[in-house]
A and B are shown apart, each in its own frame.
Chain A
Amino acid sequence: MKVRIGIGIIVFFSVIAIIGPWLNDLMGIGPWKIDYDAIAEPPGAGHLLGTTSQGTDVLAQMIAGTRNSMVVGSVAGVIGVILSVVVGVTAGFFGGKVDAVLSFVTNMFLVLPVLPLTLIVAGYVQDTGPITIALIIGLFGWAAGARTLRAQTLSLRGRDFVMAMRMIGESKPRMIFVEVLPHLAGWISAMFLHLVLAAILAEAGLAFLGVSSADTISWGTVIDQARQVALLNGMWWWFVPPGLCIALLGTATGLVNFGIDEVMNPRLRTADIKAMRKALA
């Protein structure tokens, strides 16, 4: 049940992200359209979530922002997870010099101050669109995960069942992918979801600091704009939706994690395994 709610929320946001522009057209609203008759209007019939102080529709901005926030989150998540799995599992499984080099690189990335660095890189890059932000967050955010995975792999490598498979002559790639990686799936998925959330928050934070291109709308930019006016005027309908979206996505990632735990650990599986598999498929 928990898993289904979590997956439901994530699917909901993903669908909005995909069909967003089309949905806005269908409802006859747009993130840049200014309605001079309804400036700073609370939620009502014409504008379901009200309007901003410039007269743009909050719902339209939310819908348009979902796409960019989800893109930032998933791209950063995928890049970060791939890097941390490749670096962490390789270092842990092979050990020795490979481990020494990779651990050194990991530690270096670990002590880099990510947010200031992001600001500097964003300053040099011409167009700080969502993909750029995602790349920066993904490329600088993998180190902590790599360290965790390295430690886990190191412990798995010495377990009897891995030794036993080595003894029957299992190849190294198969040992990593078939025997070791499945045991890390819980860690990896938790890491991915955590990275997605961290990236969305980081993007929102950067937008809040003004690092984002002017023609991009994301949950972060909506909050940023609302910050300047909404709080003073009590326009709660402007800043609550983006905040709520971020919080909801965070909750959803947590709920999905419980489910992944159950699938990965056969002992936690409740009676209905097939339903669980289907729910996750």
Chain B
Amino acid sequence: MPEETPVLAAEDVTKHFDTGRQTVRALENVTLRLYRGRIAALVGESGSGKTTLARLLAQFYPVTSGEIRLRGEVVSGPDKDFYGEVQLVFQDPFASLNSLRKVEHNVRRALKLHGHAADDAAVHELLAKVNLTPAADFARKLPHELSGGQRQRVAIARALAVRPSVLLGDEPISMLDVSIRLDVLNLLARLREEEGLALLYITHDIASARYLSDDIYVMYAGQMVEGGPAESVIQEPKHPYTRLLLDSSPDPERAGGSSAFTATAKLGEPPSLVDPPPGCRFHPRCPFAKEQCKTSFPPRTEFADGSWTNCWLHNES
């Protein structure tokens, strides 16, 4: 991993939601760093805290403990300068655009608010950048005249209009038709190349994470369990949960029976975050769980290929 300062980082972040009667422990001591020109994928199943982490990074709500750092400096709260650097693309493109406003309204406001030229040419240039051509036609359309993929591109164009250095994608393709997902992924990859953006790509589809990203982080029930360069995480998963995720995605070349998980008929359910299991939160579902796993969360073990994991199986001390 590069040694430069991360553009945006969550350092040892914990988030608990207090609902009055009970506390939801959504994130526990999570660290995630985003670097310029690199795409980090955050993988995990529903409820693992991926979106919470993205929203903490975007300063939608304050952290319970830990800190969010922008270019090494602790961010105390959201302000216009912060949002000039960090933008989030929402999961649902049908909800993230005002149904009464034309495409150009969204882009133009973003340009204007951040002091950039906001004439037709600037708006059209942005729309062309996200492959909405002819841009002049798309600029005048209302959201309901666009497909999901086109809407998501408008949302991306709006985020790009402020000229951010970090783009957080909260499952940006999960609501799109399968046939247009690749287009949006390629668009994100191109933006990384051309603009030097630091990208966070949140997904539950580990195959698309492999396709797009440089680094992969794996989360389970609010804990970061594994991370590292994409290929090493995919080729040599260290944590049993990463292996479960990989085995869950269909692979025609893999013969049945090679998985550690096919033997166990029941794979279990993700735990409740109100009353999470002690120690490693994956231990009730883990076929390799040891006594140690039930009592304490393992420290990080680093490997030669740049990846790391928090698992007692790889920590013999």
Interface residues in chain A, defined as those with a beta carbon under 8 Å from any beta carbon in chain B: 159-161, 163-165, 167-170, 178-179, 182-183, 264-267
Residues of A within 8 A of B60 (CB): 163
Would you list the 4 A-B pairs with minimal beta carbon distance, nearest first?
Answer: A160-B95, A160-B96, A168-B110, A169-B80
* Complex Cα–Cα for A165 and B113 (A): 10
Interface status of B162 (Cβ within 8 A of chain A): yes
Offer 28 A-B interface pairs, CB within 8 angstroms, sorted by A: A159-B95, A161-B97, A161-B98, A163-B60, A163-B90, A164-B97, A164-B106, A164-B155, A165-B98, A165-B106, A165-B109, A167-B58, A167-B83, A167-B87, A168-B87, A168-B109, A168-B110, A168-B114, A168-B159, A168-B161, A168-B162, A169-B113, A169-B114, A169-B162, A178-B101, A182-B100, A264-B100, A266-B99
Contact A160 B90 (CB under 8 A): yes
Residues of A within 8 A of B110 (CB): 168
Q: How far is the CB of B282 from chain A (nearest CB, A)?
A: 31
Interchain CB contact (< 8 A) of B88 among A167, A265, A266: A167
Interface status of B158 (Cβ within 8 A of chain A): yes
Q: How far is the CB of B193 from chain A (nearest CB, A)?
A: 24
- The digit string for B114-144, where 1 denotes a CB below 8 A from any CB of A, is 1000000000000000000000000000101
Residues of A within 8 A of B84 (CB): 169
A-B contact count (CB 8 A): 58
Residues of A within 8 A of B114 (CB): 168-169
Given A170-B109, A266-B142, A266-B144, verify A161-B96 contact (CB < 8 Å): yes
Residue of B nearest to A164 (CB): B96
Residues of B within 8 A of A178 (CB): 101
Residue of A nearest to B100 (CB): A182
Q: Considering the complex, which residues of chain B in the window 136-154 have a beta carbon less than 8 Å from any beta carbon of chain A?
A: 142, 144
* Complex Cα–Cα for A182 and B101 (A): 10
Q: How far is the CB of B101 from chain A (nearest CB, A)?
A: 8
Q: Considering the complex, which residues of chain B in the window 210-269 have a beta carbon less than 8 Å from any beta carbon of chain A?
A: none
Interface status of B28 (Cβ within 8 A of chain A): no
Residue of A nearest to B110 (CB): A168
Residue of A nearest to B89 (CB): A164
Interface status of B11 (Cβ within 8 A of chain A): no
* Complex Cα–Cα for A1 and B60 (A): 47
* Complex Cα–Cα for A204 and B24 (A): 57
Contact A267 B144 (CB under 8 A): yes
Residues of B within 8 A of A168 (CB): 83, 87, 109-110, 113-114, 158-159, 161-162
Residue of B nearest to A179 (CB): B98
Residue of A nearest to B170 (CB): A160
Residue of A nearest to B113 (CB): A169
Q: Considering the complex, which residues of chain B in the window 39-91 have a beta carbon less than 8 Å from any beta carbon of chain A?
A: 58, 60, 80, 83-84, 87-88, 90
Contact A164 B90 (CB under 8 A): yes
Interface status of B92 (Cβ within 8 A of chain A): yes
Q: How far is the CB of A187 from chain B (nearest CB, A)?
A: 14
Residues of B within 8 A of A182 (CB): 100
Residues of A within 8 A of B142 (CB): 266
Residue of B nearest to A264 (CB): B100
* Complex Cα–Cα for A234 and B96 (A): 63
